[in-house]
């Protein structure tokens, strides 16, 4: 059984507290408190150590927060030039792996959207041609294949004198063949082991160039045949 | 040897020392042409003289004047041709050219000198021409004196293209079959 005095004492205490609280001017009390001094005495680091930031972030409604942000106003206040000045674009590009990006690019779609005609109109073809070494390009043409596999051969055949040039080519070729035949026999009769020079010195350089061109053309054709 | 290899040989022979057969054929053509032109000149001279004087002139081959005229004409025919272009008509047909011994373009005076000493090769019983056969650079007596040489100089590359063109045209006309080889050898 409880002491009958205890409830009375409790009611008295509650009543006393009510009277004190009612009589207390909280605003005046707060005004007398030096909040800055209080804040300075708080060890924020110690408090933050005890805060589980992840839990706070989980409870944070980021979307709602962003909805309340006036992005345009933010951007207006942003000095983009200053930002770009501070940005090391080269370092940024060094860290970017372009291959995956390029893999995701649909080149065909990109080209479909490009106005190639407009691009070509802006190209100075004369300047491009000036930079091209035409002689080198011509030197890389396989004349044999060109003549054999295009109508150019027929054009040459019709425009090169026909029977006359054919007869002349044949006569010259036969004569040169006989020259070589006789020369071989003379060399044997004279028992020469070392053949003489084929051509005058000035002609040997030209011969080398012509022979190289012929051999290169021959190799190109052989390579094509091998691939086929 | 494949068709193409022969074609390559054909090109690579250009600029080589010319042999005896080609040079002989060229000389035969030149002899025929120069003799024909000389005879034509004599005939024209006779005709003009007959029209002007009313007397006919007959030329005797044994006449010393005719012999001297022919020698002078031959000197001019060969000398001018070699000096001007390094080739006579016969040499042009056979695709030959006279060049300096080192392969450079022949100096005009060498052309005339070569023409001047050309008869020497005949005067020594034709031995002057023996050099074409046995000399390593196929140089005859007149070449050794004038410091010249004779080379193949026809446009073998163009000839090769002409051959390939004809081959291609035949291929179009007759189907895939092709001739077995290019014509002959070099130029």
User: Per-residue pLDDT tens for A142-154?
Assistant: 777 777 666 666 6
Give the pTM: 0.55
Average pLDDT of span B37-61: 85
What is the residue-averaged pLDDT of chain B? 82
The answer to whether position A169 is within a domain reads no
Q: Do B152 and A176 touch (CB under 8 A)?
A: yes
Binding-face residues of A in 30-49 toward B, CB within 8 A:
none
> Domain map of chain B by residue range?
3-174
Write down how long chain B is.
187
Boundary residue ending a domain (A29, A56, A73): A73
A180 burial via Cβ count (<10 Å: 0-12, 13-18, 19+): middle
What is the pLDDT confidence band of residue A207, given thresholds at 50, 70 and 90?
A: low
Number of DSSP helices (H) and strands (E) in chain B, helices first: 8, 2
Average pLDDT of span A147-166: 66
Average pLDDT of span A37-56: 81
For residue B148, what pLDDT is reported? 94
Most confident region among A32-41, A90-99, A159-168, B145-154 by mean pLDDT: B145-154
In order, the DSSP letters of B91-107 are HHHHTEEEEETTSSBPP
Q: Which residue of A has its CA nearest to B154?
A: A172
The residue with greater pLDDT, A160 or B105, is B105
For residue B173, what pLDDT is reported? 57
Q: Any CB–CB contact under 8 A between B16 and chain A?
A: yes
Distance CA(A146)–CA(A164), nearest Å, equals 24
What are all long-range contacts of A138-144, with beta carbons under 8 Å and residues at least 24 apart? A139/A213, A142/A217, A142/A220, A142/A221, A143/A217, A143/B161, A144/A217, A144/A218, A144/A221, A144/B4, A144/B7, A144/B164
For testing contact with chain A, the best of B2, B25, B27, B183 (most A CBs within 10 A)? B183
Asked whether residue A157 carries a pLDDT value surpassing 70, the answer given is no
The answer to whether position A14 is within a domain reads yes
B112 within 8 A of B149, measured Cβ to Cβ:
no
A157 contact residues in B (CB cutoff 8 A) = 162, 165-166, 168-169
Q: Do B103 and A157 touch (CB under 8 A)?
A: no
pLDDT per position as a tens digit, A102-141: 888 888 888 887 778 888 888 888 888 888 888 888 777 7
B128 within 8 A of B8, measured Cβ to Cβ:
no
Across the interface, of B4, B22, B172, the residue whose CB is closest to A176 is B22
Across the interface, of B8, B103, B187, the residue whose CB is closest to A199 is B103
The answer to whether position A222 is within a domain reads yes
For testing contact with chain A, the best of B2, B3, B17 (most A CBs within 10 A)? B17
What is the residue-averaged pLDDT of chain A? 78
Average pLDDT of span A3-21: 86
Binding-face residues of B in 109-148 toward A, CB within 8 A:
133-134, 136-138
Q: Do A218 and B185 touch (CB under 8 A)?
A: no
Q: Do A176 and B7 touch (CB under 8 A)?
A: no
Q: Any CB–CB contact under 8 A between A16 and chain B?
A: no
Number of alpha carbons in the 13 Å side-chain half-sphere of residue A51: 11
| SS3 (DSSP) at B152 | strand
Boundary residue ending a domain (A42, A73, A104): A73
Boundary residue ending a domain (A30, A49, A73): A73
pLDDT per position as a tens digit, B83-95: 999 999 999 999 8
Binding-face residues of B in 37-96 toward A, CB within 8 A:
93-95
Q: Do A157 and B169 touch (CB under 8 A)?
A: yes
For residue B40, what pLDDT is reported? 92
For residue A35, what pLDDT is reported? 78
Across the interface, of B20, B93, B151, the residue whose CB is closest to A199 is B151
pLDDT per position as a tens digit, B67-124: 899 999 999 999 999 999 999 999 999 989 999 999 899 999 999 999 999 999 888 8
Average pLDDT of span B159-186: 57
The answer to whether position A33 is within a domain reads yes
Out of A50-64, A137-151, A154-168, least confident range: A154-168
Rg over alpha carbons for chain A, rounded to the nearest Å, is 50
Average pLDDT of span B121-142: 90
Q: Any CB–CB contact under 8 A between B185 and chain A?
A: yes
For residue A216, what pLDDT is reported? 65
The residue with greater pLDDT, B184 or A89, is A89
For residue B187, what pLDDT is reported? 37
Asked whether residue B181 carries a pLDDT value surpassing 60, the answer given is no
For residue A42, what pLDDT is reported? 81
> Which residue range forms the structural domain that includes residue A208?
197-228
**What are the φ/ψ torsions at residue B97 (nearest 5 degrees)?**
-150, 140
- Report CA-CA distances (Å) from A190 to A63, A103, A194, B25, B148: 106, 74, 11, 24, 24
The answer to whether position A92 is within a domain reads no
Count of domains observed in chain A: 2
ipTM of the complex as predicted: 0.77
Q: Do B104 and A176 touch (CB under 8 A)?
A: no
SS3 content of chain A, % helix, strand, coil (to 5): 75, 0, 25
């Amino acid at each position: 059984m409880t002491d009958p005095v205890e409830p009375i004492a409790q009611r008295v205490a509650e009543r006393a507290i009510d009277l004190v609280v009612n009589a207390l001017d909280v605003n005046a009390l707060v005004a007398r408190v030096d909040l800055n001094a209080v804040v300075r005495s708080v060890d924020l680091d110690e408090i933050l150590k005890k805060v589980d930031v992840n839990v706070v972030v989980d409870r944070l409604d980021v979307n709602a927060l962003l909805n309340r942000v006036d992005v345009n106003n933010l951007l207006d206040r942003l000095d983009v030039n200053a930002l770009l000045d501070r940005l090391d674009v080269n370092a940024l590009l060094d860290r970017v792996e372009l291959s995956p990006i390029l893999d995701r690019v649909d080149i065909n779609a990109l080209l479909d959207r490009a106005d190639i005609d407009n691009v070509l109109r802006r190209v100075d073809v004369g300047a491009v041609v000036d930079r091209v070494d035409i002689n080198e390009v011509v030197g890389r043409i396989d004349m044999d294949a060109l003549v054999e596999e295009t109508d150019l051969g027929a054009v040459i055949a019709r425009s090169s004198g026909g029977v006359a040039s054919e007869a002349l080519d044949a006569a010259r070729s036969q004569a040169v063949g006989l020259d070589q035949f006789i020369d071989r026999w003379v060399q044997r009769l004279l028992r020469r082991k070392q053949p003489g020079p084929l051509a005058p010195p000035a002609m040997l350089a030209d011969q080398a160039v012509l022979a190289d061109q012929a051999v290169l053309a021959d190799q190109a054709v052989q390579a094509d045949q091998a691939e086929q | 040897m494949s068709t193409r290899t022969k074609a390559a040989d054909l090109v690579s022979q250009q600029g080589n020392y010319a042999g005896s057969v080609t040079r002989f054929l060229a000389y035969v053509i030149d002899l025929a042409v120069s003799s024909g032109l000389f005879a034509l000149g004599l005939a024209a001279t006779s005709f003009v003289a007959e029209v002007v004087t009313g007397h006919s002139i007959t030329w005797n081959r044994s006449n010393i004047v005719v012999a001297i005229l022919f020698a002078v004409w031959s000197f001019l025919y060969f000398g001018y041709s070699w000096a001007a272009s390094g080739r006579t008509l016969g040499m042009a047909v056979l695709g030959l050219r006279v060049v300096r011994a080192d392969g450079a373009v022949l100096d005009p005076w060498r052309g005339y000198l070569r023409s001047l000493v050309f008869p020497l090769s005949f005067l020594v019983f034709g031995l002057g021409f023996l050099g074409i056969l046995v000399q390593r650079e196929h140089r005859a007596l007149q070449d050794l004196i004038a410091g010249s040489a004779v080379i193949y100089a026809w446009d073998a590359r163009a000839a090769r293209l002409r051959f390939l063109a004809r081959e291609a045209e035949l291929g179009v006309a007759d189907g895939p079959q092709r001739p077995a080889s290019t014509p002959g050898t070099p130029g």
